[in-house]
Amino acid sequence: MENMDQTIEEAINRFQIVMLRLNKEIVGIVKETGLDNLLSREQIEAMRIIQIEGKVTINELAALQNIFKTAASKRISKLEEMGYVTRAHTENKRIKLIQLSDEGEQFLQKATAVMTEAVKERLVQHFTQAEIEQFVDQLTHIDDVFKKNKK
């Protein structure tokens, strides 16, 4: 059990460092591809969360991005002004859900294609297709475990 604790501790430490490096790399990719003239990395991240979740509240978005509700609200307002997100209709008028608009979906598809190509150029020499698929499977499994524990 102690060995597993050490391994998990090492995984957490490495994951945090890798995520910091990956975020820095994504900022660079966003800049070099010109996407930063359109949206910030944080706005693109918010749109990705909305795409994956389907519809979210401002509170849910703030929690997932680990930011204050006011920051999430400002982020959504800007995306709404640009036509990338819309308010979703709900039965309960007090619950305000946000969803991607068709324009938001199209932008995110283009941004994803550009970022995928840029990341692929950096990784293709270092990983096989099977290794990348295994990595994605592991990330999915970890995400599923945390989603189950959340409920």
- pLDDT tens figures, 9-42: 998 899 889 888 887 887 787 777 777 667 887 8
Domain-by-domain residue ranges, the chain? 1-37, 39-111
* Structural contact between residues 59 and 50, judged by C-beta atoms closer than 8 angstroms: no
124: pLDDT strictly greater than 90? no
Of 19-28, 126-135, 137-146, the one with minimum mean pLDDT is: 19-28
What is residue 120's predicted lDDT score, i.e. its pLDDT? 86
What are the phi and psi torsion angles at 102 (to 5°)?
-60, -40
Could you tell me how many helices (H) and strands (E) the chain has, helices first? 6, 2
CATH C-level class of 39-111: mainly alpha
Cβ contacts of 39 within 8 Å, gap of 6 or more: 47, 79, 82, 84, 107, 111
132: pLDDT strictly greater than 80? yes
pTM over 0.75: no
Structure tokens at 127: 């990983």
pLDDT (tens digit per residue) in 80-121: 999 999 988 777 777 789 999 999 999 889 888 888 888 888
Query: Which position has the higher pLDDT, 73 or 34?
Result: 73
Q: DSSP per residue over 50-91, as a string?
A: HHHHSSB-HHHHHHHHT--HHHHHHHHHHHHHTTSEEEEP-S
